[in-house]
C-alpha cells in the first residue's frame, strides 16, 4: 500500500501547488488590475487612510488632499471646474472618475512601483503617502480654452504635435468636484443626482467620451489624405462640379453648403473643394476611393482604437458595410461617422508633424512622496498615417482654407495658420455640430487644436464652424504662441 | 558486557516513559497560544486602538481546552503525534481572531449579527469531543467493529438535509438541518462516519476488488461485479448533488472514496473510471441544474457585468478576489483591511478575509499549516502496517486536504465555488466539531504506530 500512499501524497501536493499558484496569481500577478476594477471600492476606502497625492499643473495643485478633522482625516479639494473633465472626481460615496480613478494606485501609494515605500511604511508604521501627478497641461492655454468656450457646450483639445503632449483639454460645462467629495453622504448623493440629471451632461468628458460627434467637413481631411496616399490624386486633380449630386441608387441629392456651386466652373480641384469645403466633389471623391481606402486611412489616424492618454477615450468610428450613397455621405463626415475631439486633434497633429502622429499623453511625471520619479512617459510615436509629401499637400490646402477660404476666422495676424472648419448636420431640424481643427504656425507647428461646439452654439441651424468654433481655436493657438 | 546491555535497555525504557512528543507539543502549543494572543492584540489595536480584557474571552477558552487535551494525551496517548494539535490550535485560533475582527466591523457599522462568541463555544465543544475520542476510544481498531453502523450513520447524516421539515436551504445549497433554533451541517460529521466505513469495507473486500478482470485496449478492467460499490457511491454522490445542490459536498465524498479504493486495491483504473463518471455527471448537472450552472458561469466569467449583478451571481466571488488582491503580498495587517465587504466573510470566504489582511505571505503560511496536518496524517498511514489503520489515517488526512482544496480553490477560481467550509478556520459549529474529531482520531491512531515514530523520526 505504501506505493499507493506515495501517489496520494503526490496528488495532495498537486492540489496545494494549484492553490499556491491561484493565490499568487490573484494577489500578485493580477492584483493591480483587480485594484483598478471600477467595482472595487477598496481602493476608495484605502485612500482615505493615507494622504492622497495631488494632481498638479505647472507645479500648482488642481486636486489635493487637505487635512480634515473628521473620521476621514483628509478632504479632497479641487481648484477649478476648468479641470473637472481631466481630474474627474473622488468621492467616498460615488467612487472616482477621470484621473482620480485611472491613476488611483499611484495617488494612494499602492502602485507596484511603490513597493519599497510600502515595505518601509509597513516596517516604520507610518502610512504610505501617495504619489503626485504632474500633467502636461499648460495652465495658460487651458484657461484660454475654458474662457473662450464661455457658456457654449462642447470641448477643446490642444496637442503639441511634436511630442503628443496635451496642452489643454476642456469639456463644457464642467462641474464642481468639491460637491461630490464632501464627506456627508446625503449631500454628496443629492449633488450627484443633480449632475446626472443635467441634460448638458457635465459629468461626461466630451473631449474623449460621451456619445461622440458627427465630424462634418473636418472629415474631409481624412478623405483628402486617402486620396493623396493612393497616388492617383493631387490637390490639382479635378472633379465634376454640378450644382447637385444625385447619390447612386437613391433619389437623394447632395448639395454644397449654402447650396451654391463650388467656384462656378464645370470642374473643381480638390484644393478648392477643401478651401470652400464643398460636399459635392468630396462625395464623388469618396465614392471613387471607396469606403475601404477611407476606412484604412481613418484607422491609421486612430479610428477604431480606444486611446489611453491614460484616460481612456472612446474609439471613433467610420462605418462598415455601406453602399455607395452612404459612402458618399460619409466622405464629408455625415452618415454614421462618429468622432471624439481628441481624434480630430490627432488628425491635425499628424498633418502638422510631417505625417508622424505622436501618442497623445496627459502625464508629464509621477513623483513619489520622497521625490523620486515613478513614471515619466517620453514622447512616443503612435503611427505614421500619411507620408511627408501627403502631409505637405494637405497642410498647404489647410493654409489656403484659412487664408483665402471658408475657415477664415482661424487667422492670426502675422502667423500662418492651417485649419479646417466643419458644420455637421444631426438630422432634420436638429441644431448643427460646429467644428474647427488646425495648427499653427503652419511652417513650424507648436500646437494642433480641435474645437467642437454642440447644439449649434445655441443658434440652431444658423451657427457655422467658422463663425463660432474657429475664433475659439484661434484664441487657444494664440495662447500657445504668446511666448 | 551483560551489564552494559541492561543499562542500555534501561535507558531505552526510561526514554519511553518520558513522553518526548508531549514535551515538544507543549512547547509548540505555547508558541501557538502566543501567536493567537498576538493576533487578538493586533486586531484590537488597529480597530479600537486600545487593548481591552475582551480579548481574554477569545483567547482563554481555546487555550484551556487545548491544554486539557494536551494533558489527556500525556496520560492516555503519550506517543501521539506532536505537531497535529499545535497546528490545529493555530488555525482555529486564527479563525476566532478573524471572526472577532469581522464582528467588530459589524458592530461599528451598527449591525448586530456576530459570530465570535459562538465560535469560541463551539471550539470548546469540539476540542472536548476530540478529547473524548482520545479518552474513550481505546484503540482506533475498535472502530472496525462498527463499519456497517458507520455506513448507516454516514448515509443518514448525508441525506438528512433532503428530508422535509428539518432540511434547510441556506445560500442556495441544501446542506443544513434546522432543529429548534439550531442549524447544523450534518454532512461534516458524515465524512468521518463514511471514512470509517470505507476503511472497514475496503479492507475486507480489497482482494476481490483488486482481482483482475478482462483486458480491454491493453487495460486490465476490474470484474464487472466489483463495479457495484463504485456505482453505489456514485449514485449517492449524485443524490447529494441533485438533492442538496452542492457540487463540493458531492465531490468531497466521491474523491475520498476514489482515493481510498485506490490505496486499498492499487488499481488506478478505479480512479480513472470514477473521475470520468463524476466529471460527466458534474457537466450534465452544470447544464440542467440552474443553481449548479449559475455557479459554473460565475466561475468561468465572474467579471461579466450581467453575472456580477445577478442574484446568486458572481458578486461574492469577485468581491473576494478584490479583497485578496487588496492584500497583495504582505496584507493590510489584521484589522487593517475591509474584508467585511465580502458576503459571508466569516465563513465561506474567511480565506479571502485572511488573504486581504495577511497577504499572500499569510495564505502561504496557512496552506503550510494545513499541509503539515495532512502530511502528519499521511505519515501515520505510512507508519502502520495494518491495512485498516493505513486506510483510516489516509482517508481522514485526505478529506482535510480535499476539503481545503475545494474551498480555497473555489474562492480563488481553481474550481467552481461550493458550499463547503474551510476546515478549522471558518465560522460554523458542525465543521469545527467534525474536524476536531478527525484531529482526535489522528492523534489516537498515531499513538499506536508500530514504529513508535517520534518527531525526530528515530526508530527505537
Mean pLDDT of all residues in A231-252 = 87
Give start and end residues of each alpha helix (H) in B18-83. Answer: 20-47, 54-76
Residues in contact with B157: Cβ distance below 8 Å, sequence separation at least 6, in sequence order: B186, B187, B189, B190, B193
**Contacts of residue B321 in chain A, CB cutoff 8 Å?**
26, 34
The CA distances from residue B234 to A184, A276, B212, B276, in Å, are 58, 81, 22, 11
Q: Count how many domains chain B has.
A: 1
pLDDT of residue B248: 83
More reliable by pLDDT, A122 or A98: A98
Element (H, E) at A78: strand A74-78
Query: A469: closest CA among A273, A227, A277, A270?
Result: A277
Res B108: pLDDT = 76
Reply yes or no on whether the pLDDT at B323 is more than 90: yes
Please state the pTM of the whole predicted model.
0.64
Nearest to A18 among B359, B360, B409 (CB): B409
- For residue A10, is pLDDT > 90? yes
CB contact under 8 A, A39 and B308: yes
The pLDDT assigned to B290 comes to 78
Rounded to an integer, the average pLDDT of A393-406 is: 90
Q: Which residues contact B268 (CB under 8 A, 6 or more apart)?
A: B262
- Checking if the pLDDT of B265 tops 50, the result is yes
Residues A274 and A218 sit within 8 Å (Cβ to Cβ): no
Percent over 90 (pLDDT), chain B: 41
Which 296-335 residues of chain B touch chain A by CB within 8 A? 303, 308, 318, 321-330, 333
Instruction: Tell which wins on pLDDT, B417 or A163.
Output: A163
The mean per-residue pLDDT over the stretch B181-189 comes to 77
Summarize the confidence of residues A183-212 as an average pLDDT.
Answer: 89
pLDDT score, position A242: 84
Q: How confident is the model at residue B451 (pLDDT cuts 50, 70, 90)?
A: very low
Judge whether B409 lies within some domain.
yes
Looking at per-residue confidence, does A70 or A383 come out higher?
A383
Lowest mean pLDDT among A66-70, A104-108, A398-402, B135-139: A66-70
Q: Which three cell numbers stand for residue A364?
A: 508629464
Instruction: Identify whether B455 is part of a domain.
Output: no
In a domain, B268, yes or no: yes
Count Cβ atoms below 10 Å from residue B153 Cβ, excluding itself: 19
**Most confident residue range from A101-110, A339-348, B100-109:** A339-348
Is B3's pLDDT higher than 60?
no
Q: How high is the ipTM of this complex?
A: 0.90
Verify whether residue A217 is a known catalytic residue. Answer: yes
- Whether residue A28 is predicted with pLDDT greater than 70 in this model: the reply is yes
Mean pLDDT over A443-454 rounds to 94
Kindly report, residue by residue over B95-123, the tens digit of the pLDDT: 999 999 999 988 877 778 889 999 999 99
Judge whether B281 lies within some domain.
yes
Is A26's CB within 8 Å of B367's CB?
A: no
- The average pLDDT across B82-90 equals 96
The CA–CA distances, whole Å, from A378 to A87, A133, A358, B193 equal 21, 15, 11, 67
Average pLDDT over residues A258-280: 80
Q: Which residues of B361-377 are buried (b: 16+ CB within 10 A; e: fewer)?
A: ebbbebbebbbbbbbbb
Provide the percentage of residues in chain A whose pLDDT is more than 90: 55
Q: Which residue has the higher pLDDT, A326 or A128?
A: A326
Domain region containing B303:
2-447
Q: Are A43 and A106 in contact (CB under 8 A)?
A: no
pLDDT of residue B457: 41
Q: What is the pLDDT of residue A416?
A: 92
Show the domains of chain A with their CATH numbers.
216-362+380-481 (3.40.710.10)
Degrees (nearest 5) of the Cα angle A292, A297, A301? Answer: 140
In this prediction, residue B256 carries a pLDDT of: 92
Q: How far apart are CA A475 and CA A453, in angstroms?
A: 15
Higher pLDDT, A135 or A113: A135
Nearest CA of chain B to the CA of A15: how many Å?
Answer: 6
State the average pLDDT for chain B. Answer: 85
Q: For residue A455, what pLDDT is reported?
A: 87
Backbone angles phi, psi at A361, to 5 degrees: -150, 140
Q: Is residue B460 part of a domain?
A: no
Query: Quick check: B15 pLDDT over 60?
Result: no
In total, chain B counts a number of residues equal to 460
Does B373 fall in a domain? yes
Do A22 and B409 make contact, defined as CB atoms within 8 angstroms? yes
Question: Which is it for strands A132-135 and A55-57: parallel, antiparallel or unpaired?
Answer: parallel
Q: Quote the pLDDT of residue B171.
A: 61
Helix (H, G, I), strand (E, B) or coil at A53: coil
- The pLDDT, as a whole number, for residue B420 is 86
Q: Counting Cβ atoms within 10 Å, is residue A197 exposed (0-12), middle (13-18) or buried (19+)?
A: exposed
Residues B332-347: tens digit of each pLDDT? 889 888 888 888 888 8
Split at pLDDT 50, 70, 90, the class of B458 is: very low
Cβ within 8 Å of residue B28, ≥6 positions away = B82, B83, B86
- Given CA atoms B304, B310, B311, B312 in this order, what sign does their dihedral have? negative
User: Average pLDDT for residues A93-108, to the nearest whole number?
Assistant: 87
Q: Give the dihedral of Cα atoms A179, A182, A184, A186; nearest 10 deg.
A: 20
Residues A16, B321: C-beta atoms closer than 8 Å = no
Which residues 362-381 in chain B show a CB within 8 A of chain A?
Answer: 363-364, 367, 370-371, 374-375, 378, 381
Residue B458 lies in a domain: no
Out of A18, A35, A41, the one facing B414 most closely (by C-beta) is A18
Q: Are B416 and B405 in contact (CB under 8 A)?
A: no
Catalytic residue of the set A171, A209, A217, A225: A217
Distance, in angstroms, between A90 CA and closest chain B CA? 19
Report CB contact under 8 Å: A12, B367: no
CA atoms within 13 A on the CB side of A429: 0
Kindly list the distances between the CA atom of residue A364 and the CA atoms of A81, A167, A341, A371, in Å, as whole numbers in the listed order.
Answer: 21, 11, 21, 14
pLDDT level of residue A145 (50, 70, 90 thresholds): very high
Query: Across chain A, what does the average pLDDT equal?
Result: 89
Give the model's pLDDT for residue B1: 44
Question: Considering the domain boundaries, does residue B282 fall inside one?
Answer: yes
Q: Is it the case that residue B2 has pLDDT exceeding 50?
A: no
Which residue in B308, B378, B405 is closest to A9 by CB distance?
Answer: B378
pLDDT reported for residue B165:
66
> What's the confidence (pLDDT) of residue B168?
67
Q: What is the structure's pLDDT at A182?
A: 87
Closest partner CB to B341 (pick from A4, A15, A42): A42
* CB burial readout B330-353, b (16+ within 10 A) else e: bbbbbbbbbbbbbebbbbbbbbbb
Which pLDDT band, with edges at 50, 70 and 90, does B164 fall under?
A: low
The answer to whether the beta carbons of residues B347 and B426 sit under 8 Å apart is: yes
Amino acid at each position: 500500500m505504501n506505493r499507493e500512499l506515495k501517489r496520494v501524497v503526490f496528488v495532495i501536493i498537486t492540489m496545494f501547488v494549484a492553490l499556491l499558484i491561484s493565490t499568487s496569481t490573484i494577489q500578485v500577478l493580477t492584483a493591480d488590475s483587480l485594484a483598478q476594477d471600477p467595482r472595487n471600492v477598496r481602493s476608495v476606502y484605502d485612500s482615505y487612510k493615507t494622504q492622497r497625492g495631488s494632481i498638479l499643473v505647472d507645479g500648482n495643485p488642481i486636486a489635493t488632499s487637505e487635512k480634515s478633522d473628521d473620521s476621514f482625516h483628509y478632504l479632497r479639494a479641487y481648484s477649478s471646474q476648468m479641470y473637472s473633465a481631466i481630474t474627474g472626481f473622488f468621492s467616498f460615496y460615488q467612487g472616482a472618475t477621470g484621473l482620480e480613478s485611472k491613476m488611483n494606485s499611484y495617488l494612494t501609494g499602492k502602485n507596484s512601483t511603490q513597493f519599497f515605500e510600502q515595505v518601509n511604511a509597513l516596517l516604520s508604521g507610518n502610512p504610505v503617502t501617495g504619489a503626485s501627478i504632474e500633467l502636461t497641461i499648460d495652465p495658460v492655454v487651458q484657461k484660454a480654452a475654458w474662457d473662450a468656450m464661455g457658456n457654449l457646450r462642447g470641448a477643446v483639445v490642444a496637442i503639441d504635435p511634436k511630442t503628443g503632449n496635451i496642452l489643454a483639454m476642456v469639456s463644457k460645462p464642467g462641474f464642481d468636484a468639491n460637491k461630490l467629495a464632501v464627506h456627508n453622504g446625503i449631500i454628496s448623493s443629492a449633488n450627484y443626482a443633480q449632475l446626472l440629471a443635467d441634460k448638458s451632461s457635465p459629468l461626461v468628458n466630451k473631449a474623449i467620451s460621451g456619445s461622440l460627434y458627427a465630424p462634418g467637413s473636418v472629415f474631409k481631411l481624412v478623405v483628402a489624405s486617402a486620396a493623396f496616399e493612393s497616388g492617383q490624386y493631387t490637390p490639382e486633380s479635378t472633379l465634376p462640379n454640378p450644382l447637385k449630386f444625385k447619390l447612386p441608387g437613391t433619389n437623394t441629392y447632395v448639395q454644397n453648403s449654402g447650396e451654391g456651386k463650388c467656384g462656378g466652373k464645370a470642374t473643381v480641384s480638390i484644393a478648392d473643394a477643401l478651401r470652400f469645403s464643398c460636399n459635392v466633389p468630396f462625395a464623388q471623391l469618396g465614392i471613387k476611393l471607396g469606403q475601404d481606402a477611407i476606412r484604412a486611412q481613418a484607422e491609421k489616424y486612430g479610428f477604431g482604437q480606444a486611446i489611453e492618454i491614460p484616460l481612456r477615450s472612446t474609439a471613433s468610428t467610420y462605418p462598415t458595410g455601406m453602399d455607395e450613397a452612404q459612402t458618399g455621405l460619409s466622405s464629408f463626415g455625415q452618415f454614421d461617422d462618429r468622432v471624439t475631439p481628441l481624434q480630430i486633434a490627432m488628425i491635425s497633429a499628424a498633418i502638422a508633424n510631417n505625417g508622424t502622429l505622436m501618442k497623445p499623453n496627459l502625464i508629464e511625471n509621477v513623483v513619489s512622496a520622497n521625490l523620486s520619479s515613478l513614471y515619466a512617459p517620453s514622447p512616443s510615436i503612435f503611427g505614421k498615417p500619411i507620408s511627408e509629401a501627403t502631409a505637405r499637400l494637405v497642410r498647404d490646402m489647410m493654409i489656403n482654407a484659412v487664408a483665402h477660404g471658408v475657415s477664415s476666422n482661424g487667422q492670426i495676424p502675422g502667423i500662418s495658420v492651417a485649419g479646417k472648419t466643419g458644420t455637421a448636420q444631426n438630422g432634420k431640424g436638429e441644431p448643427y455640430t460646429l467644428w474647427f481643427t488646425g495648427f499653427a504656425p503652419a511652417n513650424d507647428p507648436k500646437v494642433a487644436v480641435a474645437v467642437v461646439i454642440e447644439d449649434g452654439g445655441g443658434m440652431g441651424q444658423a451657427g457655422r464652424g467658422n463663425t463660432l468654433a474657429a475664433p475659439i481655436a484661434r484664441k487657444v493657438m494664440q495662447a500657445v504662441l504668446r511666448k | 558486557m551483560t551489564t552494559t546491555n541492561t543499562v542500555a535497555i534501561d535507558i531505552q525504557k526510561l526514554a519511553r516513559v518520558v513522553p518526548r512528543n508531549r514535551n515538544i507539543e507543549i512547547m509548540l502549543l505555547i508558541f501557538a497560544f502566543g501567536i493567537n494572543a498576538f493576533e487578538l492584540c493586533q486586531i484590537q489595536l488597529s480597530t479600537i486602538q486600545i487593548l481591552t480584557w475582551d480579548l481574554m474571552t477569545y483567547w482563554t477558552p481555546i487555550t484551556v481546552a487545548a491544554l486539557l487535551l494536551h494533558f489527556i494525551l500525556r496520560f492516555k496517548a503519550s506517543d501521539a503525534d506532536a505537531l497535529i494539535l499545535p497546528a490545529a490550535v493555530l488555525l482555529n485560533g486564527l479563525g476566532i481572531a478573524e471572526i472577532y475582527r469581522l464582528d467588530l466591523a459589524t458592530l461599528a457599522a451598527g449591525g448586530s449579527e456576530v459570530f465570535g462568541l459562538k465560535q469560541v463555544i463551539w471550539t470548546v465543544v469540539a476540542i472536548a469531543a476530540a478529547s473524548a475520542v482520545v479518552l474513550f476510544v481505546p484503540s482506533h481498531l475498535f472502530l472496525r467493529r462498527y463499519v456497517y453502523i458507520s455506513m448507516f450513520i454516514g448515509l443518514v447524516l448525508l441525506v438528512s438535509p433532503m428530508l422535509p421539515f428539518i432540511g434547510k436551504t441556506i445560500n442556495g445549497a441544501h446542506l443544513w438541518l434546522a432543529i429548534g433554533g439550531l442549524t447544523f451541517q450534518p454532512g461534516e460529521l458524515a465524512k468521518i462516519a463514511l471514512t470509517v466505513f470505507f476503511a472497514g469495507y475496503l479492507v475486507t473486500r480489497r482482494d476481490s476488488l483488486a482481482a483482475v478482470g478482462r483486458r480491454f485496449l491493453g487495460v486490465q478492467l476490474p470484474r464487472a461485479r466489483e463495479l457495484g460499490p463504485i456505482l453505489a457511491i456514485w449514485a449517492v454522490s449524485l443524490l447529494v448533488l441533485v438533492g442538496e445542490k452542492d457540487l463540493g459536498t458531492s465531490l468531497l465524498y466521491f474523491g475520498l472514496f476514489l482515493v481510498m479504493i485506490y490505496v486499498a486495491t492499487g488499481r488506478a483504473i478505479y480512479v480513472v473510471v470514477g473521475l470520468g463518471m463524476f466529471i460527466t455527471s458534474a457537466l450534465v448537472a452544470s447544464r440542467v441544474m440552474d443553481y449548479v450552472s449559475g455557479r459554473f458561469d460565475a466561475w468561468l466569467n465572474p467579471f461579466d457585468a450581467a453575472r456580477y449583478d445577478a442574484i446568486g451571481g458572481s458578486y461574492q466571488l469577485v468581491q473576494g478576489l478584490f479583497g485578496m488582491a487588496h492584500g497583495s503580498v504582505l496584507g493590510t495587517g489584521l484589522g487593517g483591511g475591509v474584508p467585511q465587504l465580502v458576503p459571508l466573510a466569516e465563513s465561506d470566504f474567511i480565506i479571502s478575509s485572511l488573504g486581504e489582511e495577511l497577504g499572500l505571505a499569510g495564505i502561504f503560511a496557512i496552506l503550510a499549516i494545513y499541509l503539515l496536518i495532512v502530511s502528519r496524517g499521511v505519515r501515520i498511514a505510512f507508519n502502520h502496517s495494518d491495512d485498516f489503520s493505513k486506510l483510516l489515517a489516509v482517508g481522514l488526512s485526505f478529506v482535510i486536504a480535499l476539503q481545503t482544496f475545494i474551498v480555497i480553490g473555489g474562492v480563488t477560481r481553481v474550481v467552481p465555488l461550493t458550499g463547503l467550509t474551510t476546515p478549522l478556520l471558518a465560522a460554523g459549529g458542525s465543521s469545527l466539531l467534525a474536524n476536531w474529531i478527525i484531529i482526535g482520531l489522528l492523534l489516537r491512531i498515531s499513538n499506536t504506530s508500530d514504529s513508535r515514530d517520534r518527531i525526530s523520526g528515530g526508530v527505537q
